[in-house]
Structures are given as C-alpha cells and as structure tokens.
Structure 1
Amino acid sequence: MRSIEIISIPVTDQQVAKEFYLNMGFSLIVEAPFQGGSNWIQLGLPDGGTTITLVNWFPELTPGSIQGFVIKCDDIDASIADLAAKGIETGKVDKTPWGRFATVKDPDGNSWSLHSN
C-alpha cells in the first residue's frame, strides 16, 4: 500500500455538491455515468494526491456525516478571504499548538478543517 487515493463524500445532490467543491477550489477530474442513475464525480485539489468522489449510493454513508478531514493551506487567512469572496462561510480560526484551523461545511454539512501553521 502507498497512499489513500479516493475518499467518498456522501451527498444528497451530486450536482449541487459538485458546484460547491468547484467553487471551493477543487478541479473536476472525471464525471461519467455510474450505477442507478448516479454519476461518478471525482474531484481533486491542485498539488493534492488524494481525491474525492461525491457519492449517493452507499446507504451506510449519510450525507453530512463526514467530519474532520483536513485541507492544508499555505495561508489560512488568504484561503478564508478567498472563500468568503465566493460566498463560502468558514468558522472562526482556532489556534492550537499544532497550527491554525477553520471549519468549512458543504451543502450537506460534511465538515472540512482548513489548516495552516
């Protein structure tokens, strides 16, 4: 084993979620028909190895249940300002001994932590 390649993010509406993540700064890697009328939508961040796929076919994965995945930022303040300019709200910045963090949630409530030193 070498790395985590794809993380499934449970969403209610794949197209709404896709637009959110594109607005957040992800790039579309592939979108293709999948099973049961769903699409395989895979997105990634620049310079990132791990990608995400927006899923609605796993009954065990409830939309909004993902918490605590961390997105590395060079400058968390600049990232927050960029997101705010795009209409994406973040939580307040928490300062810890291991860095600064701010939360951002997708339309379903899946929660990401932005992080910088």
Structure 2
Amino acid sequence: MPISSILTITVPVADQSAAHDFYTRVLDFEVRTDNPFPMGRWLTVAPKGSATTLLLASWFPGMAPIGGLVVGAPDLDALAARLGEHGVAFDGPSEQAWGRQLLFHDPDGNGFVVSQA
C-alpha cells in the first residue's frame, strides 16, 4: 500500500520552550500536542487547519537545521510585517518564475520558504 500522507516533520530545536514561543507567538501556529516524553516533551505545532504538524524536538543535538521547508500563506506582505515586528530577519516578498515567496529562518536556523497561497 502506498504512503497516503505526511503527518509530522521533525524540526530540530535547542530549547523547546523557546521554540514553542516562536511558533505560537510569532507564526501563530497552534499547539497540537504537548506531552511529557522521556527525552523532553512531545511538542507538535501546526498552522490552524493544517493536517501536517511540526515536531519541535530537542533530543537530536547533532541534527543539522532543516532547510527549504515550503509552507503557504495568503498574504506575504502581512507575514513580512509580522516577522519584522518580532525582529525576525526575512528576505522578500519577491517575485519568482513560480510565484511570490518570502524566506526566513527560525531561531534555530531551520529555513522556511513561504509561497503565496
């Protein structure tokens, strides 16, 4: 049987509490799970309405940040303003052959490409 969906993507973070703050306060993600786990917390977040969650995992100390996680937003200008208000560096929005995009990194260096959705 083929794989039918992507449920969770692991995002390495140094501090789960700081990551929780960034993803919920800056990106306005909702917490899906926040449970004790032998190596920290099983902490997942997602944009409201998204089926795919991000697991903010601190138990992979040697794991390199992920790059190029592509997400969508309906208003890149509003997102740019929100990121700027929170002191997050970003590039864009810019016009590309495939559409508008904005780039930014979370505090742990995980890279995001935001496409106009």
Q: Give the TM-score normalised by structure 1.
A: 0.87
**C-alpha separation between the residues in 1 aligned to 2:28 and 2:89?**
14
Runs ≥4 residues deviating over 3 A? none
Query: 1:59, 1:83 → 2: CA distance?
Result: 27
Partner of residue 31, structure 2: 28
Give the match for residue 75 of structure 2. 75
In structure 2, the gaps of 5 or more residues are none
What amino acid is aligned across from residue 36 of structure 2 in structure 1?
P
Quote the offset at 1:7 in angstroms: 0.3
With the length of structure 2 as denominator, give the TM-score of the two structures. Answer: 0.87
Whole-angstrom CA distance in 2 between matches of 1:56 and 1:82: 26
Pairing of 1:103-114 with structure 2 (within 5 A): 103-114=103-114
1:57 maps to what in 2?
59
Look up the match of 1:101: 101
What RMSD, in angstroms, separates the aligned Cα atoms of the two structures? 1.6
Percent identity at matched positions?
32
C-alpha distance in structure 2 between counterparts of 1:31 and 1:90, whole Å: 28
The structure whose residues are more often strand, as a share, is 2
Q: What SS is found at the alignment partner of 1:7?
A: strand
Deviation at 1:101, TM superposition (A): 1.2
